[in-house]
Amino acid sequence: MARSRGSRRWLDEHFSDPYVREAQRRGLRSRAVFKLEEIDGRDRLLAAGQCVVDLGAAPGGWSEYAASRVGERGRVIAIDLLEMTPPPGVIALQADFAADEGLARLDAALEGQAVDLVLSDMAPNLSGQKAIDQPRSMLLAELALDFCGDRLKPGGALLVKVFQGQGFDALLGEMRQRFDRVQSRKPRASRDRSREVYLLARGFRAV
């Protein structure tokens, strides 16, 4: 019964959420678009002609928004384990970017082009147990940071979702070693009870 009540409460909250309603009204793929839209509006993250990689992209809301901002001269490459109908102007790969095969497909799609911006709105499948979910979420963030390696151009940027908790300070320290500045962002579309924040790292220092 408790599980059923919890499910109903989540559904009631979801469908009364103004961001969900606005996403449906505008025909957007998810409410998460508003998070990227707010950060981009504040920090001028996306620009025409950029090459953008969207890690863990499904259902494609961030990719769709990025494609609208980089325009025809830009490129957006999205990758996710789940199948995704690519938005216009987006190359979508169904693969695990953390696996060698997925990375190889992503590198092939890049065709040697350096990346201006890496996006990651990834989150693990939550078990409800913080001791399990927190390490999983930090691992995804670390993988996104590792991906930048020799793919992100000098001066490039990374926007990655993280959850505050164990491992957060260590990740922040790693990012500060590899970028000129790292800032925390909590968009209005992030639910109040959520521990999620977005780390925006700019000025990549290629080693």
CA distance 180 to 178: 7
| Residue 96 annotated as part of some ligand binding site | yes
Count of residues making up the chain: 207
Residues 6+ apart with CB under 8 A from 32: 61, 62, 121, 189
Count of other CB atoms within 10 angstroms of residue 122: 24
Catalytic status, residue 161: yes
Given the DSSP bridges, would you call strands 115-120 and 75-80 parallel, antiparallel or unpaired? unpaired
How many Cα atoms are found within 13 Å in the side-chain-facing hemisphere of 26?
15
CB 166 within 8 A of CB 138: yes
**Does the annotation place 6 within a ligand binding site?**
no
Give the C-alpha distances (Å, rounded to integers) separating 17 from 10, 13, 53, 130, 190.
Answer: 10, 6, 29, 25, 11
The DSSP H or E segment spanning 4 is helix 2-16
Ligand-binding site membership of 17 (annotated): no
Is 10 known as a binding-site position?
Answer: no
Q: Given 35, 130, 153, 161, which residue is catalytic?
A: 161
116 has binding-site annotation: no
Dist CA 167 CA 99 (whole Å): 22
Residues that are catalytic: 161
The annotated binding site is made up of 60, 62, 80, 96, 121
Binding positions for S-adenosyl-L-methionine: 60, 62, 80, 96, 121
